Amino acid sequence: SQTIHQWPATLVQPVGSPLSLECTVEGTSNPNLYWYRQAAGRGLQLLFYSVGIGQISSEVPQNLSASRPQDRQFILSSKKLLLSDSGFYLCALLAATDTQYFGPGTRLTVL
Amino acid sequence: SQELEQSPQSLIVQEGKNLTINCTSSKTLYGLYWYKQKYGEGLIFLMMLQKGGEEKSHEKITAKLDEKKQQSSLHITASQPSHAGIYLCGADIPSSGSARQLTFGSGTQLTVLP
């Protein structure tokens, strides 16, 4: 079965600092991968998805970017964090059953 | 764009009571997913419904998709403190890209009092 790892689990960063969140998956090959953000009291917002290495689609214009350097690695980055970037970031993969499974998440607080 | 409305936004029940959470779509649902989330944790997949009138159960949780495929309900029988958490419905949305995408409701916060 598939396993999704996210690192780090929590992060506190000052405004203007860079960001790198990592998502790695096991137990599957060439999965569709997704980055979501969940702000306090709100639902999930799809940020990026990737259907393969080097293939990134952005759903929301923002100061975040994503990369997929390896088949099972999906990275969310920013050059300069904003206060509004605070939230809970979730990585997900699409299983063969057409169901999305989610990682444990990263709690980001921008001060 | 497709929107999902969940109701209620929050729910507090006594242990042992039954409860229902609803998810209503502005458009026909082609795939409806229910997830549970503990605070600060990832989403746990519960069930997926695709056909009008479909009903699935797992332990004490039953989910239904209505015949018109625009509303789904999640019913918990004899609730327990372990059922507490945030319940989210998600739906397949048409995508111009090559990946399946989901849109989510804002969630229902369930508290079960012992």
- Ordered structural domains, chain A, with CATH: 3-110 (2.60.40.10)
Quote the minimal CA–CA distance from A89 to chain B in Å: 9
Averaged over B80-102, what is the pLDDT?
Answer: 82
> Does position B71 have pLDDT exceeding 90, yes or no?
yes
Handedness of CA A78, A81, A82, A84 (dihedral sign): positive
Residue A91 CA, chain-centre distance (Å), reads: 4
Let me know: does B105 contact B88? Beta carbons within 8 Å: yes
Q: Where are the alpha helices (DSSP H) in chain B?
A: none
> Does position A97 have pLDDT exceeding 70, yes or no?
yes
Residue in B with minimal Cα distance to A43: B106
Peptide bond into B114 cis (omega under 30): no
Contacts A50 to B, Cβ<8 Å: 99
Cα–Cα separations (whole angstroms), residue B85 to A25, B2, B61, B74: 25, 25, 14, 13
Averaged over B46-55, what is the pLDDT?
Answer: 92
Decide if A90 and B88 are in contact by the 8 Å CB cutoff: no
- Summarised one tens digit per residue, pLDDT across range A40-83 is 766 788 899 999 999 998 887 678 999 999 999 999 999 999 99
Q: Is A88 on the interface with B (CB under 8 A)?
A: yes
> Does position A86 have pLDDT exceeding 80, yes or no?
yes
**H/E run at residue A1:** none
Decide if B42 and A90 are in contact by the 8 Å CB cutoff: yes
Decide if A101 and B99 are in contact by the 8 Å CB cutoff: no
The 10 Å Cβ neighbour count of residue A74 is 29
- Token reading at A43: 């639902």
pLDDT of residue B26: 84
pLDDT of residue A69: 96
Question: Cα-flanking dihedrals φ and ψ of residue A85, to 5°?
Answer: -80, -10
Domains, chain B: 4-45+54-113 (2.60.40.10)
- Summarised one tens digit per residue, pLDDT across range B7-39 is 999 999 999 999 999 999 988 888 899 999 998
pLDDT of residue B99: 64
pLDDT of residue B79: 97
